């Protein structure tokens, strides 16, 4: 039945908008091959970019072994003349200069925008320097932190650029956060955002995280030994590919390493799940350390402390572990025990601002019918909430088609003209 419904939806899309020619019909292949690939001709190879490393107000010195996160990092891509400014929000666990962020920066620069790029609230640099609770995942609280960062970063660069209007664009978790900061700005009006573009947003970040964890667990049974073998394969590939130097093993690193391999759906599913699991492992460790929770880190950690025992103790912890072992105990204590886990999980969803999202015409969203992080209830929420401010493309997986020329054209037409429609 689901296949029939999917086929009908694709047929309706084709009839309404014309044939959609995105090349990857497999959602796993689209996610791995497309999500970091520019499929738009004529985009500048390099754009004027300035990187900032700053001490934010009220930020504290990080623990010794997180010394490299001593300052908050962000970037500015700037026009020479007066122009609109886009705040670009990174996907889950990604930083301001991830490959996907850089591709967006190049596209937006050529389209005539300034761009301030902001790291994900689930990245260690953001958690250490900009997170109020040091325990991300509650989207309104995270949104407040991002909004503060927006104000601070703009204040730092405002004397160097002339801005006509303010916009927000985010993908994945950044797409979710885009809606939240727009909601917050309606009251404070520090920017009075003109338009907001959400790319492949999560509706409920907890349920989306569980779906991604299942991509790994489906084939490994969440067995640490099997996951360990998979990670060893990735590390081995990194070692054989790099010619000296250091690289951070991220989602994009993993996808890049295996993009030329012949992979089965099982292989691709595991890689996508593993990429997210590495984010969860880091999240478990960093939040435990910063909040002195004692779940994994039970002894003082120095700059040169052997970290293997701590990572071994984390034992490939996933996002559910994070919520159950760290976030819930933290917030339960903060609220004096007057909160259940189910109540906490309601803070991870866009449904908190449903009324606002239904009534504002400045926010639009795009996603894909084969999106890996959404379930049927999520699609219903998006359709009922955004109505004609939502485009669901038939293919693309998770963020796999966001740099495809037809998607880019839709995005830029909305940002520049306020017109939101797909034309083939």
What pLDDT, in 10s, does the model give residues 239-283? Answer: 555 554 445 667 787 788 777 777 889 889 988 998 898 899 899
Task: Share the mean pLDDT of the chain.
Answer: 89
Q: Reply yes or no on whether the pLDDT at 356 is more than 60.
A: yes
- pLDDT tens for 369-418 read 999 999 999 999 999 999 999 999 999 999 999 999 999 999 999 999 99
Domain end call among 345, 376, 404:
345
Residue of 15, 14, 93, 132 whose CA lies nearest to 252:
93
Assigned domain for 101 exists: yes
Residue of 306, 343, 307, 312 whose CA lies nearest to 328:
343
Residue-number span of the structural domain to which 365 is assigned: 2-205+351-417
- pLDDT tens for 21-61 read 999 999 999 999 999 999 999 999 999 999 999 999 989 89
Residue 377, C-beta contacts closer than 8 angstroms, at least 6 positions apart: 203
Average the pLDDT over 213-233 and give the result: 79
Which helix or strand (DSSP H or E) is residue 166 part of?
A: strand 163-171
**Tally of domains within the chain:** 2
Task: Count how many Cα atoms sit within 13 Å of the Cα of residue 361 in the half-sphere of its side chain.
Answer: 4
Residues 319 and 219 in one domain: yes
Residues 41 and 179 in one domain: yes
Quick one: 371 exposed, middle or buried, by C-beta within 10 A (0-12, 13-18, 19+)?
Answer: buried
Q: What is the largest CA-CA distance in the chain?
A: 62
Assigned domain for 314 exists: yes
- In percent, the amount of the chain with pLDDT more than 90 equals 70
Q: Reply yes or no on whether the pLDDT at 12 is more than 70.
A: no
Could you tell me where the beta strands, DSSP code E, fall in 154-306? 163-171, 195-199
Whole-angstrom distance, CA of residue 122 vs CA of residue 131: 9
Residues 102 and 231 in one domain: no
Between strands 363-368 and 390-393, the pairing is parallel
Please, which pLDDT band fits residue 14 given cuts at 50, 70 and 90?
A: very low
Structure tokens at 307: 């970290």
Residues 145 and 167 in one domain: yes
Residues 361 and 280 in one domain: no
Residue of 71, 70, 106, 62 whose CA lies nearest to 88:
106
> What pairs with residue 321 in β-bridges?
none
Residue 186, C-beta contacts closer than 8 angstroms, at least 6 positions apart: 356, 360
Residue 310 is given by DSSP the state: H
pLDDT of residue 11: 40
Residues 328 and 379 in one domain: no
Q: Around Cβ 375, how many Cβ atoms within 10 Å? A: 15
Residues 230 and 179 in one domain: no
Average the pLDDT over 153-163 and give the result: 97
Whole-angstrom distance, CA of residue 98 vs CA of residue 282: 17
385: left (phi over 0), alpha (psi -120 to 50) or beta: alpha
Residues 117 and 255 in one domain: no
The torsion of the CA quartet 29, 30, 35, 36, rounded to 10 degrees, works out to 50
């Amino acid at each position: 039945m689901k296949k029939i419904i999917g086929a009908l939806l694709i047929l309706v899309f084709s009839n309404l908008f014309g044939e959609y020619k995105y090349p990857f019909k497999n959602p796993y292949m689209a996610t791995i091959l497309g999500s970091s690939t520019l499929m738009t001709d004529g985009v500048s190879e390099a754009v004027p970019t300035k990187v900032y490393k700053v001490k934010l107000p009220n930020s504290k010195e990080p623990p010794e072994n997180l010394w490299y996160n001593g300052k908050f990092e962000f970037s500015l891509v700037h026009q020479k003349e007066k122009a609109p400014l886009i705040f670009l929000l990174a996907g889950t666990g990604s930083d301001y200069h991830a490959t996907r962020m850089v591709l967006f920066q190049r596209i937006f620069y050529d389209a005539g925008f300034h761009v301030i790029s902001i790291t994900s609230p689930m990245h260690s640099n953001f958690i250490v320097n900009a997170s109020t609770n040091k325990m991300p995942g509650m989207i309104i609280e995270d949104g407040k932190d991002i909004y503060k960062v927006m104000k601070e970063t703009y204040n730092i660069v405002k004397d160097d650029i002339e801005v006509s209007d303010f916009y927000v664009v985010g993908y994945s978790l950044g797409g979710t956060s885009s809606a939240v900061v727009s909601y917050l700005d309606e009251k404070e009006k520090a920017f009075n955002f003109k338009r907001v573009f959400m790319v492949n947003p999560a509706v409920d970040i907890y349920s989306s995280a569980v779906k991604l964890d299942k991509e790994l667990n489906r084939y490994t049974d969440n067995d640490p030994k099997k996951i360990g073998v998979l990670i060893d394969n990735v590390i081995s590939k990194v070692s054989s590919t790099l010619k000296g130097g250091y690289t951070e093993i991220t989602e994009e690193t993993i996808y890049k390493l295996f993009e030329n391999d012949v992979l089965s759906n099982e292989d691709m599913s595991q890689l996508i799940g593993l990429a997210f699991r590495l984010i969860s492992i880091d999240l478990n460790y960093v939040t435990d350390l910063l909040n002195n929770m004692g779940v994994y880190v039970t002894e003082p950690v120095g700059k040169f402390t052997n970290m293997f025992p701590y990572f071994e103790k984390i034992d490939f912890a996933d996002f559910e572990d994070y919520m159950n072992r760290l976030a819930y105990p933290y917030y339960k204590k903060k609220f004096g025990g007057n909160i259940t886990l189910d109540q906490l999980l309601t803070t991870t969803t866009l449904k908190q601002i449903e009324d606002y999202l239904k009534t504002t015409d400045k926010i639009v969203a795009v996603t894909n019918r084969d999106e890996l992080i959404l379930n049927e209830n999520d699609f219903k929420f998006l359709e009922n909430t955004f109505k004609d401010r939502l485009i669901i493309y038939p293919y693309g997986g998770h963020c796999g088609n966001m740099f495809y020329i037809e998607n880019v054209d839709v995005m830029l037409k909305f940002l520049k003209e306020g017109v939101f429609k797909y034309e083939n």
